[in-house]
């Protein structure tokens, strides 16, 4: 019998989000893909062979997220997995010298946008006794000098654990994925010794594939080249 599960992915157009979309599609998931770029979403949709709904949306907009969830329910009837993946990086300069405008964009996306995503999908997850998977980072486990990005990922980790305590009684599982450096468009130049988005995608699908009585709380995924390094995405 074909897999009829539905996965909603934020930050789906590139990098880890797109890799998870490809892997999930290959395993038969029906997909709801969210990102700000209509053009990139359409390109990914054309590449995928499964049943895919694309919804241009900004995770910092409750109205856009609500509309996306409504569209997903109208199309598929339910949402089984939410991969809350949308995120952005900061700017150099540390706490003493970085552009404060970059902090606002970063925190709105990585913290506020994550919380909104979970809020707007929580009823659907309760109904399906589903699974929320959150992209945090090893930077959410190690404090990095002058890094607002690291601070935002500490917040993401805290949100994930708090959401689990709130929603677990409804049969919803919550998993934090905490990768090290990943070779994605996040960086200006290739990082050949680092993880590929497909490596993280395999971790995400592994967590989802576990039986309903089992919950993976956290998965730390590091490249061998980063084992003793505090350099993180």
- What are 71-90's pLDDT values in tens digits? 999 999 999 999 999 999 88
- What are 179-195's pLDDT values in tens digits? 999 987 655 566 678 99
Q: Give the whole-angstrom CA distance, residue 63 versus residue 146.
A: 33
Average the pLDDT over 116-120 and give the result: 99
Per-residue pLDDT for 202 more than 80? Answer: yes
Residue 231 inside a domain? The answer is: no
DSSP bridge partners of 54: 33
Per-residue pLDDT for 61 more than 50? Answer: yes
Mean pLDDT in the chain?
93
* Burial zone of 141 (CB within 10 Å; 0-12 exposed, 13-18 middle, 19+ buried): middle
Residue 16 inside a domain? The answer is: yes
Residue 211 inside a domain? The answer is: yes
pLDDT attached to residue 225: 84
pLDDT attached to residue 183: 87
In CATH, what number is assigned to the domain containing residue 77?
Answer: 3.40.50.720
Say which of 76, 83, 149, 154 is annotated catalytic.
Answer: 149
pLDDT attached to residue 154: 97
How would you label 28-40 residue by residue, b for 16+ Cβ within 10 Å and e otherwise?
A: ebbbbbbbbeeeb
Number of folded domains that form the chain: 1
Residue 75 inside a domain? The answer is: yes
**Is this model's pTM higher than 0.75 or not?**
yes
pLDDT attached to residue 230: 55
pLDDT attached to residue 90: 82
pLDDT attached to residue 57: 98
Q: Is 149 a catalytic residue?
A: yes
**Residue 184 lies in domain:** 6-226
* Burial zone of 209 (CB within 10 Å; 0-12 exposed, 13-18 middle, 19+ buried): exposed
Per-residue pLDDT for 131 more than 70? Answer: yes
Residue 233 inside a domain? The answer is: no
Average the pLDDT over 48-62 and give the result: 97
Residue 135 inside a domain? The answer is: yes
Residue 1 inside a domain? The answer is: no
Residue 146 inside a domain? The answer is: yes
């Amino acid at each position: 019998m074909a897999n009829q599960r539905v996965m909603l992915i934020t930050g789906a157009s590139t990098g880890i989000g797109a890799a998870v979309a490809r892997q999930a599609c290959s395993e038969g998931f029906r997909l709801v893909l969210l990102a700000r770029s209509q053009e990139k979403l359409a390109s990914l949709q054309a590449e995928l062979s499964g049943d895919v709904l694309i919804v241009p949306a900004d995770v910092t907009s409750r109205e856009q997220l609500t509309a996306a969830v409504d569209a997903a329910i109208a199309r598929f009837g339910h949402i089984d997995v939410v991969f809350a993946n949308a995120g952005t990086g900061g700017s150099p300069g540390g706490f003493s010298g970085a552009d404060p405008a970059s902090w606002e964009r970063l925190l709105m996306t990585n913290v506020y946008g994550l919380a909104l995503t979970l809020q707007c999908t929580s009823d659907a997850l309760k109904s399906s006794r589903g699974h929320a998977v959150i992209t945090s980072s090893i930077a959410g486990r190690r404090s990095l000098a002058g890094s607002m990005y690291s601070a935002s990922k500490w917040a993401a980790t805290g949100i994930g654990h708090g959401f689990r305590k709130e929603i677990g009684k409804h049969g919803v599982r919550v998993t934090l994925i905490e990768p090290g450096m990943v070779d994605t468009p996040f960086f200006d130049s290739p990082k050949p010794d680092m993880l590929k988005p497909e490596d993280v995608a395999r971790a995400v699908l592994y967590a989802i594939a576990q039986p309903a009585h089992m919950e993976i709380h956290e998965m730390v995924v590091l490249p061998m080249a980063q084992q003793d390094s505090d350099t993180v995405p």
